[in-house]
Structure 1
Amino acid sequence: MTISVSTPTWALDASLPPLMIANLSHLGLIKIVGEQGRTFIHGQVTTDIVSLAKDQWRWGAHCDPKGKMIASFRTFAIDDALFMLMPRDTVAIDLPQLQKYAVFSKATLTNASDELVLLGVAGDEAKAFVEARFGAITLELTVTEQGTIIKDAERYILALTPETAADIAASVESVFDASAWQAIEILAGYPNLAASHANQYVPQMCNLQAVNGISFNKGCYMGQETVARMKYRGGNKRALYILQGHTSLTVDLETALEIAMEDGFRRGGQIIEFVQRGNQVLLTAVLANDTESDAKLRFAEDEQSSLSILPLPYSLED
């Protein structure tokens, strides 16, 4: 289903409008069904799937045997089906990796990205808007006939039937493009890993432990030894940071970052997710985890650019 979208007009450093609805077309879904579906995924990912309640959702990561993330995701269940929500391009590379091992289990995995329409709702009026259509939303996850509501603090992800999504889109003045939601996720310090960054980072390098995306008590899973060693023996030297600034470049995920040192600028990290509006840019990036909060960064190809570090909304301490 196609929803007409508008480009956000507010500045990246400005407050959201009272009601912001975004078409999350950049996200996709993997669907897992079958009597061994949950136990199979439980043995593949960093988060505890077996204990996931029907009114819960969680962050998690799927790693390769070396403990490097293939994908980061939110997971939740609708009736007997388990879903993994992640960037749409990442579905295309993660699903075949999971299917390769699922042949030994009574589990069926499919790309369900086109089965449901994903909308994000945020702003001061978000709660009233969602509850006017779906009733009181007090749980992390609420499943209704019209769709599923993921509550994340004071914002919501709606996984809807096409008919319900069309009704909602028709009832509001504007539905914004995915960048409106990505800016919110970036400011939340969330680890949305694109396909181009697969097999590069251990989960702690993208702060998965800080958003409850790693269980250190669940037992074995793919890459578990590396992830556990990072926690109990140390050795992780990188973390996810939030950066904001300006540039004359058109930024992409491969745009190089530099950090100011005593003897000049040096290569400083890699962009994980970004939003750009004109010369303003907001992004998450993996940097050295001893980077000072007042560090000065820029884009390598734009010496006049400037990036500063914003505070994370969570702690990285164990």
Structure 2
Amino acid sequence: MSEQSLSILPEFSVIKLSGQDAYSFLQGQVTCDVNKLKEQAFLPGCHCNAKGKMWSTFIALPQNDDILLLLTKESAEVSLAELNKYGVFAKVDITDDSDNWSVYGAASKELNTLASADYIIELTTEHVLALSSEAISDASQDNNSWWQREILSGRAHLFATTAGEYVPQMLNLQALDYISFNKGCYMGQEMVARMRYLGKNKRALYLAQTDQDLDITVGTDVALEINGNKRNIGKVIQSRAAKGKTVLQLVLPKDTELSEKIYLDAEQDIELSLLELPYALD
């Protein structure tokens, strides 16, 4: 991270749920146990469709009796529409609250620069996410270093081209407490549980990097080389370039070895180095 790494993160949006059924309604829609939000400062989770594939990943925050969901702007569009589709049957208002908030990223050593923020989310020991109802001065528009740290933390975010494509375990989210397996029914719960208890999941999130500064589109194919031949086996989930290197998150077959020769697209000669995850998978 750079010495001055406080940056604004316009890639994020905020959805607000208010009304007497806000907690009970959301409990039936997402993978995390929303009731824990009454005791915790924040709570990560996923919003899935009926087949268990994610519309979005989010961080939930309590705001008095209301709930804020912090998620990427691209995934917020579909999540907001899907939540409102079912929200009409409950006493809950679900709105885009993004205009009332600014989202920032920083290195943990710069927490003092976020003193005025309403919420500070310590994602790792090295970087944080903050939500502020007031603008924070001196925040950089260049957020590439923060995004590289976020990618290397192994925490996945969804965008327009990846929403509705993956169940949570394909992005390792069970390892980061995005899923409660004890909370009861929610949208997509049957498929998410099947992935755990019946061993149906065959894919996982991997980290990779290349010593080139590349602008890589989310959804780009990733290829495996065997005996000089390449075949596409996965996709790019996230990518960010800064300071002469590009770091990526990939979805690959879960038995892929870190030593295997992985390339960006079977038609290109850009080799990727697979990296160790910062957490263990069960």
**Which range, TM-score by smaller chain?**
over 0.9
CA contact (8 A) 1:147 1:158 kept: yes
Take 2:274 and 2:7, find their aligned partners in 1: how far apart are those partners? 26
Letter in 1 for 2:155: Y
Correspondence for 1:27 among 5, 9, 12: 12
**C-alpha distance in 2, partners of 1:256/1:233?**
28
Question: Closer, same or farther in 2 for the Cα pair 1:301/1:292, shift >3 Å?
Answer: closer
Give the CA deviation at 1:191. 1.2
Cα deviation, 1:247-274, whole Å, max 9, x if unaligned, reads 5864211322111223511102111111
Q: In the alignment, is the contact (CA less than 8 A) between 1:246 and 1:306 conserved in 2?
A: no
Residue from 126, 130, 148 that aligns with 2:110: 126
Residue pair 2:237, 2:248 contacting (<8 A) in 1 also: yes
2:130 maps to amino acid = L
Residue 169 (structure 2) pairs with residue 184 (structure 1): no
Q: Does 1:148 align with 2:132?
A: no
Percent of paired sites with the same residue: 35
Deviation at 1:180, TM superposition (A): 2.5
Correspondent of 1:159 among 122, 131, 135: 131
Q: Which moved more, 1:254-263 or 1:207-216?
A: 254-263
Q: Deviations over 1:100-148 (max 9, x none)?
A: 000000011001122100111115x324444xx35xxxxxxxxxxx522
Structure 1 pair 248–86 and aligned structure 2 pair: CA distance change class (3 A):
closer
The amino acid of 1:169's aligned partner reads S
CA contact (8 A) 1:88 1:113 kept: no
The residue matched to 2:164 in structure 1 has which SS?
coil
* CA distance, structure 2, for counterparts of residue 201 and residue 86 of structure 1: 16
Find 1:308's aligned residue among 270, 273, 276. Answer: 273
Deviant stretches of 4+, over 6 Å? none
* Deviations 1:158-204 (CA, angstroms, capped at 9, x unpaired): 21123xx2xx324xxx6142323211110100110112111111110
TM normalised by structure 2 equals 0.93
Task: Give the distance between the partners of 1:51 and 1:23, measured in 2 at CA.
Answer: 29
Maintained 8 Å contact 1:249/1:302 = no
Report if the CA contact (8 A) 2:224-2:230 is conserved: yes
**How many residues in Structure 1 have an aligned counterpart in Structure 2?**
281
TM-score by length of 1: 0.83
1:201 pairs with 136, 151, 166, which one?
166
Contact 2:2 / 2:145 at 8 angstroms: preserved in 1?
Answer: no
Aligned counterpart, 1:36: 21
Q: Which moved more, 1:186-195 or 1:297-306?
A: 297-306
Q: What corresponds to 1:217 in structure 2?
A: 182
Which residue is equivalent to 1:12?
A: none
Give the aligned CA root-mean-square deviation in angstroms. Answer: 1.9
- Asked whether the equivalents of residues 204 and 252 of structure 2 are also in contact (C-alpha less than 8 Å), the reply is yes
